[in-house]
Structure 1
Amino acid sequence: MSDGGPRGTPPPRTPAARRRALGLDRGAWFLLVPALLPILVLSVGPLLYAVALSFTDARFGRTVETDFTGAANFADLRLDPLFWESFRLGLVWSLSVTALQLLLGLGLALLLDQNLRFGWLARTLALVPWAMPEVVVGLMWRLVYHQDAGILNETLRRLGVLGPDSGNIDWLTDLSLALPAVVLVGVWAGMPLTTVVLLAGLQNVPRELAEAAHLDGAGVWRRFASVTWPALRPVALSITALNLIWNLNSFGLVYVLTQGGPGGKTRLPSLFVYEEAFTYGQFGYAAAMGVVLTAVVAVCLTVFLRKSLRETAP
């Protein structure tokens, strides 16, 4: 006979058991301190400070007084066309880069999943762009896009796309080409991570189901839509949501390539916040921009977590 309560309920804890459990909980929290402390100091602390700063008129200068202004910064931000144009460019950038990373990364992952000769070498080379720092990637692609000495213009000229009498294309200062050129670099730099994650997801696709579908006469596309994609969808959703968040926060790559030019055509929101704070010294207004962007990222993260939990729920 059980000495506990009704069937399915655990027996009540004795005072000694509760003390032991509390001791274990305290020990677990003590072990978590080294991991939580850097997060509190480097992430939560600056975030709370930025929120507080967004309600002031803080400006650059040691002797400048800072006053509480309430929601004045957010009211000004609502009517700032430059910020909303930057926000629109940020959405175009992040959605374009994220979509292309998924499509091209999926294609490359499917290719690398085959029994290719020197497949290990191809997988290693696919990681090279991701292993390079953003500053290095930006400097390298600035050389590629260089108007006079860039390899891209020289290649187009050798292929006959550029005639002998036509001038070279200045990719990063042309108003219509700067954003697509930067998007291409963002896709190149971020696609390897997407490829590796999707390639890992492909390893969990049941091979016997694909073989059975092949024996039933299903074509390549039918096997992908009915077998591969349903098993890969949770992984694809996760990496796509994370890529979207990272791309919304992108700064270093675009700053090295164009510094937001030409004419603000590549001024992403993070670059606009940086300029407002460190070029014009409007720290309070820049903090309000950062709070708005953080709220947008938080909404994206919430949607991602809810979708992920729904996908993994039994």
Structure 2
Amino acid sequence: MAMLALIVYPMFYGLYLSFFNTNLVNKWKFVGFKYYLQAITKSDFYSSVFLTFGFMILVVAGHFILGFILANCLNKKFIGRTFLRVIFMLPWLFPESVIALLFTWIMNPMYGILNSILKGLGLISSSISWLGSAKLAFPAVVFACIWKGYPLVMTMVLSGMQSISQDLYEAAEIDGANKWRQFLNITIPSLKPVLTTTLILDSVWWFKQYTLVYTMTNGGPGTATNLISLNIYGTAFNDLQFGKAAAWGIIVFIICYIISKVYRMVLKDE
């Protein structure tokens, strides 16, 4: 019943709304597939979707690079390993709104600690408006999202690495394989199921990201960080076009489903 009430009903109700021009109060005009056709013919929808794809690719790539490096380091035996594992997990435990406010403070052009550090190192001479610049806001948000989300990849990869038998590495070493060959021929194939699941979850999660980006930039400056999730929210609650927002939400759901199917096809087990 909980699944029906929290997932199935909202999905079908959203699909129902997408066929109406409605404000959910006194305006209910049936428009059929009008909003779907508008979405695939309007440039602002495409630009928002492409921006979101770029955002997702950069964030997920950052998660996997940083997650792999840390997982590989934390998989080795050394004093304080458990303590460091807890420390590196902390970003995932904090709410997204808290992370967003933290980075907004760090990047503040007037009293932010980032500008103070860069000035102290002599790298900049004047304060930089990281979130107020159309060129810098997008990479700044991507950096914050990478910092927030890498623990998921790190934890999944680390757990997968610990399940790989050491006998495989010992046999490979006897055969003369160096660390890089061992990584390519033992670690990666052994982690393939874990990587596939993690890649799907991480990609879908950050494709529909809303809270962190909204709190940091609200889609600005201009449309520099106007992801499709923020576009849908603004269409619904600022423009009161709930039918149009619902139609765009259904399209995003389909895109996320296609992403997961493509990943499964490309990374299917041989």
Contact (CA 8 Å) 1:175, 1:262: kept in 2 or not? yes
Aligned residues between the structures = 270
Query: Counterpart of 1:181 in 2: which secondary structure?
Result: helix
The ranges of structure 1 where at least 4 consecutive aligned residues each deviate by more than 4 angstroms after the TM superposition are 304-308
Q: Look at both structures and tell me which one has the larger radius of gyration over its CA atoms.
A: 1
Q: Provide the identity percentage.
A: 33
Of 278, 287, 301, 2:246 maps to 287
SS of the equivalent of 2:20 reads coil
Match of 1:93 in 2: 55
* TM-score, normalised with respect to structure 1: 0.83
Task: State the partner residue of 2:160.
Answer: 201
Counterpart for residue 225 of structure 1: 184
Distance 1:222 1:175 in 2: 43
Pick from 84, 96, 100 the counterpart of residue 134 of structure 1. 96
SS in 2 for 1:200: helix
The answer to whether the 8 Å contact 1:209/1:227 transfers is yes
Residue 110, structure 1, aligned to residue 72, structure 2 = yes
- What amino acid maps onto 2:157 in structure 1? L
Partner of 2:2: 38
Q: 1:76 & 1:203 partners in 2: Cα distance?
A: 50
Residue matched to 2:136: 177
Distance 2:68 2:127 in 1: 34
C-alpha distance in structure 2 between counterparts of 1:248 and 1:67, whole Å: 31
Conserved? CA contact 2:56–2:207, under 8 Å:
yes
Gaps of at least 5 residues in structure 1 are 1-36
What 5-or-longer segments of structure 2 have no aligned partner?
A: none
3-state SS of 1:287 partner: helix
Judge conservation of contact 1:238–1:304 (CA < 8 Å) in 2.
Answer: no
Q: Is the 8 A contact 1:135 1:253 kept in 2?
A: yes
User: In the TM superposition, what whole-angstrom CA distance separates every residue of 1:141-182 from its partner, at most 9, and x where no partner exists?
Assistant: 10111111111111111111012xxx2110011111111110
Residue of structure 1 aligned with 2:237, choices 267, 270, 278: 278
RMSD: 1.5
| Structure-2 separation of matches of 1:81 and 1:307 | 29
* TM-score relative to the length of structure 2: 0.96
The code of the aligned residue for 1:257 comes to: M
Aligned amino acid, residue 141 of structure 1: F
**Cα-to-partner distance string for 1:86-106 (whole Å, 9 max, x where unaligned):** 111100011111111111101
Structure 1 residue 262 displacement after superposition: 0.6
CA contact (8 A) 2:196 2:264 kept: no
Give the secondary-structure state (helix, strand or coil) at the position aligned to 1:67: strand
Q: CA deviation at 1:288?
A: 0.9
> Could you tell me how far 1:300 is from its partner in structure 2?
2.0
The answer to whether structure 1 residue 147 and structure 2 residue 104 are counterparts is no
Q: CA deviation at 1:75?
A: 1.7
**1:216 positional shift:** 2.9
Q: Say whether residues 1:53 and 2:17 are aligned partners.
A: yes
Counterpart amino acid of residue 153 in structure 2 = T
Instruction: Specify the code of the residue in structure 2 equivalent to 1:117.
Output: I
Task: Say whether the 8 Å CA contact 2:22–2:242 is kept in structure 1.
Answer: yes
Counterpart amino acid of 2:72?
L
